Structure formats: structure tokens, C-alpha cells
Structure 1
Amino acid sequence: MVDAMIPIVNPAGVQDIVDYGLWGWALSRFSGCWVGVKSVHDTVEASASVSVEPNRLKLAMPEDFLMPEGALNIRRPDPFLDQERRLHEEKLAAVAAFACANPLDRR
């Protein structure tokens, strides 16, 4: 996934699977990138009580990112070189802006 420049989240527990899944989905919608979830067997096979309150996870849209004309999502027709340029020049910047606005670190 790294070679394809796909952002990856790695949940550490069952609650993180829910939270990171929602975070990854929001990141994908904002940036137009696929988002991968990497997890280990012990995390996926665990059971736990989790919070699924609708307002539990507060996600903010980055205020310092200027969305390019035409947005970042897939379009048709879309030549390969244009897709590659958009990934390197615009989508990865959108991923970084989203990650700064919505940090996953919990300290």
C-alpha cells in the first residue's frame, strides 16, 4: 500500500477499529484517496464493548487547504498522467491537511 501511496491506519484495539474506520472513510471522502486499514490477528479477533455514539468522533474539515478546481475524486475520462499528477501534487497534500486537522494521537 505504501508504494501505491495509500494512507494506512493501524488500530490498536476494537474501539480503534470503529474510530479509525470512520476517520479513514472521512479522509477518503475528503482527499479522494483509498485508505487502508492494517491490523493484527489479536486486534481483529478480540471482543470488547465499544462506544458507537454518533457524536463521539469529532471530525473537522481542514481550514488551511484550498480544494483545487474539480475537487480530488475520480472523474471520467481521466488520463493516467493526470491521475498521477493529482495524487502527488494535490491528494497527498489533502491527506496531510486532514491528518493535521484530525490527529489520531491520543495523549
Structure 2
Amino acid sequence: MLMIRAIIRPEKVGVVLAELSDAGFPAVTKMDVSGRGKQRGVKVGDVFYDEIPKEMLIMVVKDEDKDDVVKIIMKNAKTGEKGAFGDGKIFISPVEEAYTISSGTNQL
């Protein structure tokens, strides 16, 4: 099992979640987050924004589903703006154990 964490623009969350659900991946945790990437913030007029609001989607999938999930997120989270930065990142890490709290059963 793998944990996929995708940090994306807030305006892209709806379409990403809909496409994931339609593809059979409805289980997602969503969190409001803020941060910055290589651009170190954004200047809009005279105002400098050190941290930019984003959304983090977290899901655990079977190893063989990783490529499908990543493709869905990449396709639907990308703004398509030439030279745009800030569309987000996807992080993938192994999951060693997972338990259902109510039953105490190991999910792996």
C-alpha cells in the first residue's frame, strides 16, 4: 500500500475529487494547508504573500493503482498556464501498517 499526498490549488480540488471518485477512488482526506515552493511566495502589487493557500489530499491506495491515481491528479490539478508555478506537488510513500479503529483489524 502507498500513501499519496497531493498539494494542489484550492480551485482544482472539486474536479480532482470528482475524477478520483469516478475512477473508483472515493476515499480521500482533505486538509487546508499553506506554504510556498521554489518561488518563495508571491508579490501582488505592493503586497508580498509569504505563504500561499493550498489543499492537501491524502489517500492510501494499492501499489498497482499508484500510476492511475497520479495521472488523474496531474491531469486535473494542472492549470495549463504557460510558465505557471504553484500547481502543486505529489508525494508518495509506503504504508507499513493501517488499522481500522472501530474493529481493530489490520487493513494490509
Greater fraction strand: 2
TM-score by length of structure 2 reads 0.34
TM-score by length of structure 1 reads 0.34
**Structure ranking higher on relative contact order (CA contacts 8 Å, 6+ apart):** 2
Greater fraction helix: 1
